[in-house]
Homo-oligomer: A and B are copies of this chain.
């Protein structure tokens, strides 16, 4: 038996992924994502491009406080400008200021780009690569070198392409990642070129970064590893500009379940489906049910022929056991949460738990009904935990709602949102009123004002994010609305809650209510 190939996973969802149309993450989203990726198990998390995006600078400031168990955070930038000194380059300065342990810098391989886009000489480009890598490594950072357009550049001038890599390595880069920037390379060419680079510099130094313009990003990533590359860059769900980056969610199961690779970050493949759904939820994108391995349809059997056969000889129509990636076989229509996942959540809450009890069967039934109604718990953990706590009899309501009223009124240019909340706590009534920019913010404020006298810990709680999705939107304005709310407190806790209703304000109320109830449940 040969030693298994050990591969490093480099996630660039927060940088290259956000180049995709419609992909926008807030700073809070980005922090949540970094934590999620670390928990899942990746080696590197590229957090942003401080030189091009002020929001990323804020992210890196906050990210320095994150306690990650395994992943190393990387900031992305490019080599110094032509004819300057590295230590005088404002963009490299911003990279260092990010405070991240890893700096990934991109440089030119393709001679056409050096002369036509950078307007400089081939020698100066090499100096730009060498100086930038040397300067950052001298400051104690790990430097990964991304060779832009490597494959196109190699085809035009292989010697020059290789010399850019040699320069990066000689100056201290820990890794040279070969980027198929246009996504135009086919598998045979790709594999041949990677093998050549690996032959030149050794496998441990070589990474790959592919795009899906020819529908081959996943295939090229696997081919790259076959050819000896040991670091794979990609994004969750293949987010990225044009047709997207290599989808790690598709690549990882093939590497680890089929090609016998290992990773020392030990990715929790059995949470892969949840990871994928979580990202779509934060990106506010409908999950693609056809995604390999993790999509809702990936192990769904419709054809009568196959469905029967799949019952008979399960492995016949399933290329892997779906539970290995957190997915499952579907013969009929949807139903979620098995006993095991409920049990896991209950234990997270610290509850004793009998998996066989009829309460659990009842809870599963409730969850199925709720999912049918439009509830979704992937990004609303706190609502799910509350439901479990209530069903297991561990929840005593912190307050009782008597009434709320929201008034939105416009008179010519004047626009007012006012909310009234009337609640009862221990027999005592609290009636508050508040104004804000919008109806949900007003309701949120009035609820807090009512609760604070009894529960001062509510003061530290802030509404961090608010998302709305209209379900079955063809049914006019009264269509079902799902609201997701993210809340945080000053202990660094973040939790998500969900509300569903025909009425957008009442859906928001439900998610707000869960949000404070969850905080109060924690004590």
CB A253 to nearest CB in B, in angstroms, measures: 8
Cross-interface CB contact of A402 among B27, B312, B412, cutoff 8 Å? B412
CB A389 to nearest CB in B, in angstroms, measures: 22
Taking CB atoms, residues of chain B closer than 8 Å to A292 are 183, 212-215, 243
Q: Is the CB of B117 within 8 A of A316?
A: yes
Greatest chain B CB density within 10 A among A182, A215, A508 is at A215
Q: Which of A231-253 contact B (CB under 8 A)?
A: 238, 241-244, 247, 250-251, 253
Cross-interface CB contact of A218 among B181, B216, B312, cutoff 8 Å? B216
Q: Could you list 10 A-B pairs, sorted by A, with CB under 8 Å?
A: A26-B473, A112-B316, A116-B312, A117-B312, A215-B251, A242-B300, A243-B290, A284-B470, A408-B505, A467-B473
Cross-interface CB contact of A317 among B182, B316, B466, cutoff 8 Å? B182
A interface majority secondary structure: mixed
Taking CB atoms, residues of chain B closer than 8 Å to A291 are 243
Q: Is the CB of A466 within 8 A of B438?
A: no
Mask, A47-90, CB within 8 Å of B = 1, is 00000100000000000000000000000000000000000000
Known A182-B319, A187-B219; further 12 A-B contacts with Cβ < 8 A: A20-B297, A21-B300, A21-B302, A117-B312, A186-B254, A186-B259, A213-B298, A243-B291, A401-B410, A415-B503, A444-B477, A466-B479
Mask, A106-124, CB within 8 Å of B = 1, is 0000101100110000000
CA distance A212 to B409 in the complex (A): 50
Q: Which of A251-310 contact B (CB under 8 A)?
A: 251, 253-254, 258-259, 284, 288-293, 295, 297-306, 309
Q: Is the CB of B404 within 8 A of A284?
A: no
Q: Is the CB of B504 within 8 A of A438?
A: yes
Q: Is the CB of A295 within 8 A of B438?
A: no
Interface residues on A, range: 35 or more
Q: Is the CB of A476 within 8 A of B503?
A: no
Q: Does A521 lie at the interface of the complex (its beta carbon under 8 Å from any beta carbon of B)?
A: no
Q: Does A431 lie at the interface of the complex (its beta carbon under 8 Å from any beta carbon of B)?
A: no
* Given known A212-B290, A404-B410, A415-B506, contact A438–B320 (CB-CB < 8 A): no
Q: Is the CB of B436 within 8 A of A464?
A: no
Cross-interface CB contact of A408 among B215, B288, B506, cutoff 8 Å? B506
* Given known A243-B292, A466-B479, A503-B417, contact A223–B313 (CB-CB < 8 A): no
Q: Is the CB of A184 within 8 A of B320?
A: yes
* Given known A112-B316, A184-B319, A312-B117, contact A440–B219 (CB-CB < 8 A): no
Nearest 10 interchain pairs by C-beta: A184-B319, A26-B474, A219-B219, A437-B478, A215-B250, A440-B477, A215-B218, A441-B477, A215-B292, A438-B503
Q: Is the CB of A319 within 8 A of B444?
A: no
CA distance A184 to B241 in the complex (A): 28
Taking CB atoms, residues of chain B closer than 8 Å to A502 are 437-438
Q: Is the CB of A243 within 8 A of B467?
A: no
CA distance A299 to B184 in the complex (A): 12
Q: Does A405 lie at the interface of the complex (its beta carbon under 8 Å from any beta carbon of B)?
A: yes
| Partner-B contacts on A (CB < 8 A) | 19-21, 24, 26-29, 52, 110, 112-113, 116-117, 149, 181-184, 186-188, 212-216, 218-219, 222-223, 226, 238, 241-244, 247, 250-251, 253-254, 258-259, 284, 288-293, 295, 297-306, 309, 312-313, 316-320, 332, 401-412, 415, 417, 436-441, 444, 462-470, 472-474, 476-479, 481, 485, 501-506, 508-509
Complex: chain B residue closest to A249, CB-CB: B215
Taking CB atoms, residues of chain B closer than 8 Å to A186 are 222, 254, 258-259
CA distance A440 to B506 in the complex (A): 13
CB A288 to nearest CB in B, in angstroms, measures: 8
CA distance A472 to B24 in the complex (A): 8
Complex: chain B residue closest to A55, CB-CB: B474
CA distance A436 to B477 in the complex (A): 10
Cross-interface CB contact of A297 among B21, B485, B505, cutoff 8 Å? B21
Taking CB atoms, residues of chain B closer than 8 Å to A463 are 476-477
CB A439 to nearest CB in B, in angstroms, measures: 6
CB A337 to nearest CB in B, in angstroms, measures: 18
CB A74 to nearest CB in B, in angstroms, measures: 18
Taking CB atoms, residues of chain B closer than 8 Å to A117 are 309, 312-313, 316
Q: Is the CB of B439 within 8 A of A503?
A: yes
CA distance A412 to B219 in the complex (A): 57
Taking CB atoms, residues of chain B closer than 8 Å to A481 are 438, 468
Greatest chain B CB density within 10 A among A110, A116, A183, A187 is at A187
CB A321 to nearest CB in B, in angstroms, measures: 11
Cross-interface CB contact of A250 among B27, B181, B214, cutoff 8 Å? B214
CA distance A508 to B470 in the complex (A): 13
CA distance A187 to B441 in the complex (A): 53
CA distance A477 to B501 in the complex (A): 18
